[in-house]
Structure 1
Amino acid sequence: MYNDLEKQAPTIQYVSAKTLFPIIRQLLNEHQQASFTVTGMSMWPFLCHGRDQVVLDYCSLDSLKVGDILLFQTEQGNYLLHRVTALRKHQFQTTGDGNYFRDGWFANDCIIGRVVYFIRKDKQIDCCNVKYRLLSRLWMILFPFRRLLFPIYDLSIFNNGEVFSILNALLHIVTANKFRYNTFIHCFYCWNKGGVANGFM
């Protein structure tokens, strides 16, 4: 009997955002951390649906900065987990990493919390990590090119978790002041043919 119970799969209960996020808001306001598993692909390639778990902490306005990933509630009552791409007085702008359009501007009091790290395949990735912040900043810079980049998602190498390797290669190009639009297209063309991994890593 005991062995049969051990073999049973754990029960997974799904709850709505309207149920979950008010609880998370309360925990964060009490300066406790909260976590949940990401749903949706609007934050791909940095966060993936059903795979990555984010851990949030309370976010003070004086520490808010471009590049932070925020959980917030819009005036329409929708909950978003997107990256800050611009700041102005009493407002912030966000963009999903997997989107090629801006979300718009939101009042600072919409903020529920900020992602401090995320967990992927039992590995903890700190959002304050220098390399992570450089890669995420590079991805923000590449915003105008996302329409060109998204079809690459269908290639198997991305499904094997190699997106950070590709972004890392691009990071080397940018820091070496060799980045040009044609170079960018050429790199991904070569990578699609199997050459970039050898040429840049």
Structure 2
Amino acid sequence: MRTIDTRTYIDMLRGLTEEGKEVTLIVAGSSMSPFLIHHRDSICFRKPDRELRRGDMVFYQRADGQYVMHRICRIRQGDYYLIGDAQTEIEGPIKRNQIFALVTQVKRKGKWIRPGDFWWFFFAQIWIRVIPLRRFIIRMYPK
């Protein structure tokens, strides 16, 4: 088995998306829970082929070089504001050239979920609107 740096790996995947390929990645991190769980779920992503909109999950690179996959919660004057599903703090502005991929489907609990499916709709359209209530809802979720 060979171990490589995460940034190097994502750089490689980013290159594949630039070639027009769709790639799959196992989720690492907890910022997208409860929708996506660390090391359980996977995402498929590709270079965006349409205008990005509120609710889209996108991959972007922060100014410090860190790669992040979050959801667009607001677009203002060409700038994007993003947030993880487990978060209450919005990040932005993010410039369009920092966003390199659009998540097209996810494998959640072993089942593929795509736009149009209930859970996709719920997190993209409903969950994105309850940001101030998330802490309370997430605390109550296990109960």
TM-score of the superposed pair, with normalisation by structure 1? 0.65
CA distance in 2, matches of 1:14, 1:38: 17
Higher relative contact order (CA 8 A, sep 6+): 2
Identity level (%): 26
Aligned residues: 142
Give yes or no for the alignment of 1:113 onto 2:101: yes
CA distance in 2, matches of 1:69, 1:59: 11
- Preserved CA contact (<8 Å) 2:60 2:99: yes
1:93-126 Cα distance to aligned partner (Å, 9 max, x none): 1001001111121100001201100113432111
Structure richer in strand, relative to its length? 2
Change (3 A) 1:122 1:131: closer
Structure richer in helix, relative to its length? 1
CA distance in 2, matches of 1:147, 1:47: 17
User: Gaps (5+ residues) in structure 2?
Assistant: none
Amino acid at match of 1:34: V
Larger radius of gyration: 1
- Preserved CA contact (<8 Å) 2:24 2:45: yes
- Aligned runs of 1:44-193 on 2, under 5 Å? 44-60=33-49, 62-126=50-114, 128-136=115-123, 137-153=125-141, 155=142, 192=143
Structure 1 consecutive aligned stretches of length 4 or more whose deviation exceeds 4 Å: none
Q: CA RMSD in A?
A: 1.7
Of 76-85 and 87-96, the range deviating more from structure 2:
87-96
